[in-house]
Chain A
Amino acid sequence: MNTALYAVTRILRALFVVWAAFTLTFVALRLLPGDPVALMLSGRGGFAGLTPEQIAATRAELGFDRPLITQYGSALADAVRGDFGASLQSGQPVSRMITEAIPPTLQIGAIALVLALVIGTLTGVAANLTASPFLRQLLRSIPSFAVSMPSFWVGLILIQLLSFQWHLFPSLGNSGVQSTVLPAFTMAIPGSALVAQVLGKSLHTTLQEPYADTVRATGAGRARLLFGHGLRNAAIPAVTVLGLLVGYLIGGAVVVETVFSRPGMGRITQSAVSAQDLPVVQGVVVVAALAFAVVNLLIDLVYPVLDPRIRSTGRLVTS
């Protein structure tokens, strides 16, 4: 398989993921009980005084009276153009809500990603670098502990101590770098644990392999073995984790943005889901799927660079 074909199949796969996310959400939302028109009118105070004709007219205006397949077709066509309709709660265009919500989430998400990679890598490397069995055991168990701490709880502890008690950082809002520290750190913790676990384990495996003995035979120390050879070989599983990490961050945004009172994708997701605001949920799901698919596409495209064996076969060789 040549490189171009490899790239094209990966791109098609990414597109399929986004389309499937759109379609599944569409079907799931339409299967849910409850009437979106009821939601819309009741959110504004209910149906008082409305005649059945007026309600029917609203339903027709929103297109909810058409056959499901027609609704699906036009929703898909609109979505391809980036139009997800208007929120049933606020009447705002969904595309604008999402464009406004992406920057604040991206901001803490990017910081959290870097933090997760740095902390995770350091922990993973340190666990393999140390000669002390006690320290190694400790560094290996921290990640499983960290990964099991709910973000909600971590966020509340951080906010309680660093903001309410010691006044080091603001607890709310989206103003300046200071306001990103606590949310980004909260978001980074489970991700860093994930990186530490995977990298630590794959480093450990790499160091058991025969070539490691060869390198050791040349008189190289633990550090040189690790940095000169091990890391590069252990990188592929860690890069794969990156894709998962993005998923973690998207999910984490819901919790973190609520605890830290920040605007962003997480907050609009939370309110849209709890109010069954169909167009918003649909838009959010597609954007999240798109982000996830793009990151994984990039990762797929990076593999061959990291490992020449993938370039020739088009698939990851398990060693």
Chain B
Amino acid sequence: MSTRTTGPRPRLRLAIALLAVVLPVAACSGEGTDPGGGGSSGAPRDGGTLLVGAEADPSCLDAQQTGQVTAVDITRSVVDGLTYQDPKTGKIVPWLAKSFTTSADGSDFTFVLRDGATFSDGKPVDAAAVKTTFDNLVKLPANGAPSYLIGYQGTTVTDAHRLTVKFSTANAQFLQATSTVGLGILSPATFTASAAERCRGKFIGSGPYVLDHYTTNQEVVLKKRKDYAWPSSIAENKGAAHFDEVKFSFIPEGGARTGALTSGQVQIAKALLPTDEAQFKGNGFRVLSAPGPGLVPPLSLNHKGILADYKVRAALLKGIDRQELVDSVFSSSYKPATSVLSSVTPYYKDFSDKLRHDPDGAKALLDSAGWKPGKDGIRVKDGKPLALTWLIPAPMPPANEAVQQQLRKIGVDVKLKPVAPPVYVEQQQKGQFDLTAVGVTRADPDVLRNLFYSKGDNLWHLPAGKLDTYLEQEVSATDEKGRQSAVNSAVEWILDHADTVPLYEGAQVHGVSDKVRGFGLDASNRFDLHDAWLG
């Protein structure tokens, strides 16, 4: 199954989630950058075509309009950002902006752009282009990347190299957002094209590659820009990209992707099936896996109905054996959840003692809540069985059945309800579920606010309370210490109230030929091809 979230299409604030699902992420896996066999030993060699087997046609390539990982893996090489996020530390470092400062109240952000960067149409990357990009971004429906600009008051251009972005309130997540592809800077000419044309690739960035063509259900081909010389401040390669060309072929069938890699028809196969990972260790191939930052894939709990009772929610939290879940359904690239946030998210803290598997404790909680074991082992109260409906967007991933079996052991009957994506969105919005699963990939703890803020869309019907205060403190914090303590308080509150049931840490898992050197993922787990070359 895919590494990120679950819901292909959550709604509302959730949407953000989605967006998240797709967008940024901070991954520093131990293996993150160029692990294993193909070290970047030796001088990089220029030339050649990198062949990538991708899992799906993204159908829209414009990162302003979609955050789907299939799209952003491609556009990351075409569109540069104001900033870059170091995959190892999660720190925000210079890119198109050589420096940036935040006002004391956390609501204004001033960027100073570097000299000499140009878009592929020859126009300079200047303050006016940044303003045009953001001004147009906020006109799009405020989901996905545009949601990072909620509260946007405008951009003031001081001179060609200096600009200030203003928000109505403190916005601690914005700087990280500028490192994502969705907030990448586009040439003003881009915005004369319609939204549909931009989806088809009619957007102009300043990246090391330009889009050559996009053929539906077949391929996207990128060609290198020979004059590129403005990578992020931490890139090894300071000049043009090494490959002449990068070709993403869309290979939807998992086995065909694996076979294409082993037979040399591609050099990178994206989204390996957990069952296929074992065949790519040390035989001329390696597995590149990076845990997804952000909110881990959870059981999201509707606080209306049966799950309004804290004891039942807490029983679910204790009833999940996360290690067994990972061992039975996934591979060593995946890990049990140790918090609401994944371990590679900035401001993460280990809360694994609150996530310990405790079936006896779970049963005791259900007993005291009045749910007594009935026949078939399913618990009953007032003649009604303890049955929970799990709303799932089709196709259903295998983890769901494993969770169902685990909860059955404590007497909870989980009814799986896979539906078509549009139905999923509608029923989730209407609250027609007890359980669903929405994770969000983003290398910033603000994902918590996207999902757990009761003044947001509040799909889970969380009661207003102290949690809202913590989340407000999180986004308005102006120093790291204050933000860390707000994030810790929020996560602790969420787990103590069993507001969600974290399951496992998702991951991006790709099979890579040892011929590919210097290849890694950025902080958001997106392809970073600028340093890569063929040995």
Contact = CB atoms under 8 A, between A and B. Distances in A.
Interface of A: 32-36, 38-39, 41-50, 54, 86-87, 89-92, 97, 100-101, 156, 159-160, 163-165, 167, 170-174, 257-264, 267-268, 271, 274-276
Which of A32, A47, A170, A257 is packed against the most chain B CB atoms within 10 Å? A47
Contacts of A92: 196, 199-200, 216
Q: Secondary structure of the B side of the interface?
A: mixed
A43 B394 contact: no
Contacts of A258: 252-253
Interface string B351-394: 00000000000000000000000000000000000000000001
Contacts of B141: 41, 44-45, 47, 49-50, 54
A173 B219 contact: yes
Contacts, number: 200
B143 A172 contact: no
A269 to B, nearest CB: 11
B144 interface: yes
Given A41-B141, A268-B216, A35 B9 contact: no
A118 to B, nearest CB: 28
B165 interface: no
Contacts of A35: 422, 425-426
Interface residues of B, number: 61
Contacts of B57: 267, 271
Nearest to B144: A45
B224 interface: no
Interface of B: 9-19, 22, 53, 57, 59-60, 65-67, 141-147, 150, 194-196, 199-200, 215-219, 249-253, 255-256, 259-260, 262-263, 265, 394-395, 419-423, 425-426, 429, 450, 457
Given A90-B60, A261-B256, A39 B9 contact: yes
A159 B429 CA distance: 43
Contacts of A276: 420-422
A42 B394 CA distance: 15
A271 B395 CA distance: 12
A263 B256 contact: no
B216 A164 contact: no
Contact of B256 (A165, A259, A275): A259
Contact of B19 (A45, A50, A89, A173): A45
A174 B53 CA distance: 14
Nearest to B182: A45
A61 B520 CA distance: 43
A43 B217 contact: no
B259 A47 contact: no
B256 A260 contact: yes
Give the 6 A-B residue pairs with the shortest CB-CB distance, closest first.
A46-B15, A45-B144, A49-B142, A91-B196, A34-B422, A42-B9
B143 A46 contact: yes
B512 to A, nearest CB: 18
B426 A46 contact: no
A46 B18 contact: yes
Contact of A45 (B67, B250, B252, B265): B67
A261 B253 contact: yes
17 contacts: A33-B422, A39-B9, A39-B422, A42-B421, A45-B141, A45-B145, A46-B12, A46-B16, A47-B457, A48-B15, A50-B143, A91-B195, A163-B263, A174-B218, A267-B57, A274-B394, A276-B421
A103 to B, nearest CB: 12
Contact of A48 (B142, B217, B255): B142
A156 B217 CA distance: 19
Contacts of A42: 9-11, 15, 18, 143, 421-422, 425
Given A89-B59, A172-B256, A45 B15 contact: yes
A45 B143 contact: yes
Contacts of A262: 217-218
B504 to A, nearest CB: 23
Contacts of B18: 42, 45-46
Contacts of B265: 163, 170-172
Contacts of A263: 215-218
